[in-house]
Amino acid sequence: MENRSRVDIIRKNKVEILPVDTTFANEALYKIQITTHSPMGAIVFMTGGLLIDDGWIRILGSGNSKLNRTLPDWNKGKSFKDFGEVPSFLLIADDAIGGFYILNGGALGKDLGKIYYFSPDNLEYESLEITYSEFLLFCFNNDFEEFYKGHRWNNWRREVARLKGDEVFSFYPFLWTKEGKDINKSSRKVVPVDEQYSLNIEMRKQIGVDK
């Protein structure tokens, strides 16, 4: 994918605001230890999460039947071990093809507070050079056809709309291989998002990116 660092406000994407359960919202906000005066705190406290472009991107909030993951619970065991710890990164959103959006808390570089994309087509952490607030604008208004160029297959919207909020598509050949560059020729299956995240981390180790 090219020009990921550019955030061009081109068109309005479909945004579904998932209803919030106040009990879950209070619990999630307590676990993540952020204020409702922040954009992230507001998303957690006031929404069950956001579905962008018919569910192509899922922004984590306090959980909903259509997005059965909360921001703190999803990060537990990944970016921190126990609630109350200051994480060196936060997984804030993910997409239908197994890409993950991450808020840098120091683990990914010196640009604290900036968003990275853990890309399934190269297994790299790519800086988008935007803050969380700018990430929301990116999701609401950016040209996804350009950002995800080559990674949306024929009739993708109908299939993605049927995905559960804790599922993604897994492709074979892998998107990061030479053989997997034409997504319309790859086979795909639905897998749990947790499984795909773990696979991406493991593949980074196997190909020598992480030691």
Q: Identify the three-state secondary structure at position 9.
A: strand
Edge-first strand order for the sheet with 57-60 is 15-18, 49-52, 57-60, 89-95, 100-104, 115-118, 125-127
Q: Determine the Cα–Cα distance for residues 121 and 99; give it in Å rounded to an integer.
A: 9
Report the predicted TM-score, pTM, of the whole model to 2 decimal places: 0.92
Cβ 92 vs Cβ 108: under 8 Å: no
Domains of the chain: 15-206 (3.40.1580.10)
> Does the structure show a pLDDT above 80 at 79?
yes
pLDDT digits (tens, 9 = 90+) for 139-150: 999 999 999 999
Mean pLDDT calculated for residue range 79-85: 95
pLDDT digits (tens, 9 = 90+) for 3-15: 443 334 444 899 9
Q: Which two tokens stand for residue 148?
A: 């995800």
> Does the structure show a pLDDT above 80 at 58?
yes
pLDDT band at 211 (very low <50, low <70, confident <90, very high): low
Residues 6+ apart with CB under 8 A from 205: 211
CB atoms within 10 A of CB 27: 16
pLDDT value of position 12: 82
Q: Identify the three-state secondary structure at position 105.
A: coil
pLDDT value of position 131: 98
- Per 3-state DSSP, the chain is made up of helix, strand and coil in percentages (nearest 5) of 30, 25, 45
Between 125-134, 190-199, 201-210, the lowest mean confidence (pLDDT) is in 201-210
Q: Please choose, from the candidates 166, 144, 190, 170, the residue with its C-alpha nearest in 3D space to the C-alpha of residue 7.
A: 144
pLDDT band at 162 (very low <50, low <70, confident <90, very high): very high
pLDDT band at 180 (very low <50, low <70, confident <90, very high): very high
